[in-house]
Amino acid sequence: MPPNQSLNYTNPKPNKRVTKTDPCKFCKRCFPAEGLDQVLTVVTRRYGVVGTKVLLCLECRRKEFATYSESFPPTVESYMDTAYGGRIVPRINEYEARLHYCLKEDQLRHLHPIVVRSVRATPDPYEVKLYDEKSILKQARWVHGGDVGIANARQVFAAQGERVELPPVGPVLERRNKIRQAFLMRKVYASSKLPQVRNYVYTGRGNFENIVDTLAV
């Protein structure tokens, strides 16, 4: 397993019934006290006091963040890599969209991915859809109701037995972006599961140019 932070939770007891509900501060309706539909704590600016905490449902969180948008972290922004000599756009595939942001395939349909084939070294080569990670985060914020909703979705998915991981950060993220962009320029995709790519991304070992030249066929 890559050294990303995994979220491990105990699966809920079967047939557990949720009886407790909590009200939304804005719409006043009540919602289950757990799961994807629960109300979540949001720091709102609606009352003119910075730092006011309120419990909001999904729809009210969407309205709140439509008015007071959340800033994007630098990890999803494109950037110039002076060593590589080009602009790098962080991109992720469908599996990573679910793994990191709890988005299902049908929730990605209106987005516009780049479609490329996997390298020949991949067992049973296939077509891969690569999405701008910033657009994935934007979609996840809408689907789940902001960053707080994404965090809650990760807990819910993990509790249901799904594998969930936080997005990579630091050198691992930089190396993933760099080698993914290099392969994309050759119109191919190399999975991080391939030993050479995995070794480079997660340890920094291996010659970047040789890996790309060897696999990008």
- In this prediction, residue 26 carries a pLDDT of 95
pLDDT, average across residues 183-188: 96
Indicate the pLDDT class of residue 6, thresholds 50, 70 and 90: low
| Nearest 10 degrees: Cα torsion 61, 62, 67, 71 | 90
Angstrom distance (rounded) from CA 129 to CA 100: 16
Angstrom distance (rounded) from CA 98 to CA 212: 27
Contact of 184 with 215, CB cutoff 8 Å: no
The larger pLDDT score, comparing residue 2 to residue 150, is at: 150
- Establish if 124 belongs to a structural domain: yes
- Establish if 9 belongs to a structural domain: no
- Establish if 34 belongs to a structural domain: no
The pair of structure tokens assigned to 108 is: 């990605």
The larger pLDDT score, comparing residue 68 to residue 46, is at: 68
SS3 210: helix
Q: Say yes or no to pLDDT of 109 above 80.
A: yes
- Establish if 208 belongs to a structural domain: yes
Residue 106 DSSP label: G
- Establish if 26 belongs to a structural domain: no
Contact of 144 with 153, CB cutoff 8 Å: yes
- Establish if 29 belongs to a structural domain: no
Domain coverage including residue 93 = 73-215
Indicate the pLDDT class of residue 83, thresholds 50, 70 and 90: confident
Angstrom distance (rounded) from CA 104 to CA 87: 29
pLDDT, average across residues 128-147: 99
**Which is it for the CA torsion 140, 142, 146, 149, positive or negative?**
negative
| 111 phi/psi in degrees, rounded to 5 | -80, 165
- Establish if 127 belongs to a structural domain: yes
Per the structure, the count of domains in the chain is 1
- In this prediction, residue 143 carries a pLDDT of 98
- In this prediction, residue 45 carries a pLDDT of 80
- In this prediction, residue 123 carries a pLDDT of 85
Q: Say yes or no to pLDDT of 13 above 70.
A: no
216 alpha carbon, distance to own chain's centre: 26
pLDDT, average across residues 68-77: 97
- Report the chain's mean pLDDT, rounded to a whole number: 91
pLDDT, average across residues 22-37: 96
- Establish if 6 belongs to a structural domain: no
Amino acid at site 194: L
Quick: pLDDT tens for 146-159.
999 999 999 999 99
